[in-house]
Amino acid sequence: MKLSDYKTYFGDRKFYKDMFAIALPIALQSLITIGVNLIDNIMLGSLGEIALSASTLAVQFITFYHICCMGLGMGASVLVSRFWGMKDIISLKKVVTLMLRFTIVIGLVFTLAAALIPKGIMGLYSEEMPVINEGMRYLKWSVPCFLMMGLTTTTTIVLRSVDQTRIPLLASCAAFCINIFANWVFIFGNLNAPKMGIEGAALGTLISRIFEAAFIFGYFILKDHKIGYRLKNLAMKCGDLLRDYLTISIPVLISDILLGLGTNVVAMVMGRIGSVFVAANSITTVTQHLSTALISGISQAGCIVTGHNIGRGEYEKARKQGWTFLFFGLFIGLLAGIFIILIANFIISFYQITEETRLIAYELMKAVGIIVIFQSANSIITKGVLRGGGDTKCLMIADNIFLWAASIPLGYLAGLYLHLPAFWIYFSLKIDQILKTMWCVYRLKSGKWVKKIGSNQVNKIENQAAICLEIES
């Protein structure tokens, strides 16, 4: 193989330097968030499997909301990255305005649902009344979190899209420390505080969310000068970009919502298998997230780098780097799989659980060690490269066909009818990760995933960019 061929498929030093400059701060922030969940699980695990299962299932609903916000943010990120590459700040601000308006509306919907029908929400995940009651206690304290989480999540993605990763990282570091301390105080009743149990974990999360939202969103609307977005911009007219935003963002949002629903259906299947399985899976999930934090960072870096390339008109470069991201994703996934299997017993030993739960958790860890190889590759491509290329409609269809036509039916069959061992139940529930990886290879090879903005929009963008440059000069 010639050196040029090697660089085509595996990238050069500059590619990795640029990628890691974006990916590492995002990965560190993800690790901190995951660390909070891990500490929560360990602390709640000391209260018993009911508390651990209840918090895990309640968080599924919150995670579904977070997925919706990620969809809005990542959809906006596609356009933000392109407009940043074009140096079109006016259009960029309009996209942010549209994103924030949708975020506020969805945040209010979830807030009302958590406040008014917590029992109904928990009843979707479990039929065990002790689990439902404990989950309701957790949700009660989570009600104020939704809107703050939405604003934090979406603005963080926008800041990352314009190469600002430091502020969100610093905010997450501080929120991590606050959450751990608040958990220690309120779960166990230290420093003369009331002993609140599962409610203490939710309160600790609420306190950290308040701080994080004030830090990140406050910085975005008060201090940031790269974009220069201010609260008054929420009222700006942005109808001319509504169609472009919806064209890109709605498929991303629908895809993420359906994936989120699918994840929740998976949680419902697990909940009906029993609290022992749920508790075991909660241990596995946190460990998986811990080992794949870098994957999340690389995925978002892939979206940003691809968007910048296309914004500059470097379409062939974007296509070649797509293959680089795929091969790198497989490599990282393999390392993550080995890591998970090696630390499985070590992580499980931290939890005060029954021997049955311990054995199930270990079986799940082995399944995760295999699945994560494929999850890494397709996540970097689907959530990164293909989104950055604007291939959101095709991605929406593929994502959900594999989940709803394969993973959910097979998982339901394996868990509730065939009663297979934990390893095969989990493998069935995650079979879509393998199928999506195969599809990613096909899609990259076709080259059809690179979507160009229409000519009228290009002319409009060029004119706006010229005006911006004149103002700056």
**Cα separation, 154 vs 108, whole angstroms:** 15
The answer as to whether 201 is a domain residue is: yes
Q: Which among 158, 162, 450, 435 has a CA at the least distance from the CA of 321? A: 450
**Cα separation, 444 vs 431, whole angstroms:** 21
Which range of residues forms the domain containing residue 39?
23-457
Q: Are 137 and 199 contacting, i.e. CB atoms less than 8 angstroms apart?
A: yes
Q: Are 401 and 363 contacting, i.e. CB atoms less than 8 angstroms apart?
A: no
**Predicted TM-score of the model (pTM):** 0.70
Q: How high does pLDDT run on average in the chain?
A: 82
The answer as to whether 6 is a domain residue is: no
The answer as to whether 386 is a domain residue is: yes
**Cα separation, 333 vs 381, whole angstroms:** 13
The answer as to whether 12 is a domain residue is: no
Over the stretch 10-66, which tens digit does the pLDDT of each residue have? 667 788 887 888 888 888 877 777 777 667 777 877 777 788 788 878 888 888 888
pLDDT value of position 117: 92
The SS3 assignment for 316 reads helix
The answer as to whether 463 is a domain residue is: no
**Cα separation, 283 vs 287, whole angstroms:** 6
The answer as to whether 466 is a domain residue is: no
Indicate whether 414 pLDDT > 80: yes
pLDDT value of position 348: 84
Over the stretch 154-183, which tens digit does the pLDDT of each residue have? 999 899 888 788 888 899 889 889 988 998
**Cα separation, 197 vs 354, whole angstroms:** 20
The SS3 assignment for 313 reads coil
- Report how many domains make up the chain: 1
- Tallying the residues shown for the chain, one arrives at 473
The answer as to whether 192 is a domain residue is: yes
Over the stretch 284-321, which tens digit does the pLDDT of each residue have? 776 777 667 788 888 888 888 888 888 777 888 888 88
User: What would the two tokens of residue 42 be?
Assistant: 């360990």
**Cα separation, 68 vs 256, whole angstroms:** 6
The answer as to whether 464 is a domain residue is: no
Indicate whether 5 pLDDT > 70: no
277 or 140, which is more confident? 140
